[in-house]
Structure 1
């Protein structure tokens, strides 16, 4: 049993979601669902959120049908296992630089025989239900989304090998960190950066995987789709709110 996002991607659909960095409320998952997003990534890399906060937003998102993922701060077994046991349907791992690192990420995210994820049942990730635990492990292995971020020169150079790792689903470009690593910080029109986007999309396509990105505008999203990206997050909560408020205030201020 694969999850709805994997099914949509493999059917050729463009999959859309968003990031949440700031608004850790019990309503945020329902707001995301009401807006039409298919997934939400709760960020634990650039926020100060603890596991209680992450568990709460994931728990209140799961019933909406939106797939809740957590971006862990580092590629460590404890971070990945806690995110998944808190109820996340998948994990995003920053700065994956090699196929060996990607294989470790997959092993930590999957139950035996596919990995070494620790087994605890009747807790948050299985909705506290008594079930066939062996069948649950098999189904969860198939459903769990593994997103590896390509955001360093080392990761870019190894992207084809990372894409070939069984269990990796998405190669996600971390655009600012990637340009920092390339020595062209913030130069998103630089030909080397644009070539890097193409390289990631090509590697994903060749391996039967998918390229992902956080797009900040319709125009940027169109450029990415043209390059072969198939899973996009439209911005993040704080920037979307600030942009909408700025526009509204400016329009009302012009009345005076």
Structure 2
């Protein structure tokens, strides 16, 4: 798929060999409006630690649409790609949260605390529609319920067009949905190689530095040698399997290091850190 027809701006950046810059945001209309023309490639609506409210998410997604930008770009997609982090941990083996945020129209789902092959498989399956057994790209077997009307309308597509694009990237090259797994425990690190080797369709892994540092006994000491070593192991394993890896605490002091270490999903603080995005893009050469 060419960059001109790609709807998901995060995937577009990666296909152009660029890092993607994103941030967390609250699920409210004012924040969404501010994010609609922010310099990010994507925004992650935070619904794990903030209230899980799909009605508010639906409103926020509408406020992400900047009609002037749509008219000038010729693309029906928001210029900043919306994803959602859902509340259920991987161990809960939940599918309903992913289904509901996808049905509102987000372009990706981040599942927190994924630590095993089974949990990773479920996170991907929850974002895929069912298909006949033996069909191409059958695994992971889709578990997403069929209710595409709102999402198709939000994406500016017919339902048939939506079905063709509503699969997980990079398993389906034309897919526009990103599955993000949060890696935030020693168990997850030990199992990560098996997870990435055995579960196709994982778009990226996002390191949960807060919980990881807690589990290692160094709460929020992000520069502690043991925390950095654990993060290094995650990055190396992701690179081994050619899976993108993200960092949720990108700032002016560490962005150069993170880029050099191979992070390509970089999350800066909202609005007040727009300069970090510009700095990061300059360091990345674009």
Q: Which TM bucket (shorter chain)?
A: 0.7 to 0.9
Listed as ranges, the gaps of 5+ residues in structure 2 are 66-76, 132-137, 168-174, 274-286
Tell me if 1:148 matches 2:174. no
What's 2:101 paired with?
A: 83
Q: Which moved more, 1:66-75 or 1:186-195?
A: 186-195
Relative contact order, higher structure (CA 8 A, sep 6+): 1
What's 2:145 paired with?
A: 118
Task: Please report how far the alpha carbon of residue 4 of structure 1 lies from its aligned counterpart in structure 2 after TM superposition.
Answer: 3.1
Q: Residues of 1 paired with 2:210 and 2:157: CA distance? A: 44
What's 1:67 paired with?
A: 81
**TM-score w.r.t. structure 2 length?**
0.76
Task: Please report how far the alpha carbon of residue 131 of structure 1 lies from its aligned counterpart in structure 2 after TM superposition.
Answer: 2.3
Tell me if 1:158 matches 2:184. no
Q: Residues of 1 paired with 2:220 and 2:201: CA distance? A: 31
Which is richer in helix? 1
What's 1:213 paired with?
A: 247
What's 1:171 paired with?
A: 205
User: SS state of the match for residue 219, structure 1?
Assistant: coil
Checking the alignment, whether the CA contact within 8 Å between 1:40 and 1:66 is kept in structure 2 is yes
Checking the alignment, whether the CA contact within 8 Å between 2:82 and 2:108 is kept in structure 1 is yes
What's 2:162 paired with?
A: 136
Task: Please report how far the alpha carbon of residue 129 of structure 1 lies from its aligned counterpart in structure 2 after TM superposition.
Answer: 6.6
Q: 1:11 to 1:168 in 2, by over 3 A?
A: same
Q: Residues of 2 paired with 1:188 and 1:12: CA distance? A: 27
Checking the alignment, whether the CA contact within 8 Å between 1:122 and 1:129 is kept in structure 2 is no
What's 1:252 paired with?
A: none
Tell me if 1:104 matches 2:122. yes
User: SS state of the match for residue 129, structure 2?
Assistant: coil
User: SS state of the match for residue 166, structure 2?
Assistant: helix
User: SS state of the match for residue 97, structure 1?
Assistant: coil
Deviations 1:186-225 (A, max 9, x none): 2222222111121111111111210101124211222221
What's 2:59 paired with?
A: 56
Tell me if 1:201 matches 2:235. yes
| Corresponding pairs, count | 236
Task: Please report how far the alpha carbon of residue 128 of structure 1 lies from its aligned counterpart in structure 2 after TM superposition.
Answer: 8.6
**TM-score w.r.t. structure 1 length?**
0.84
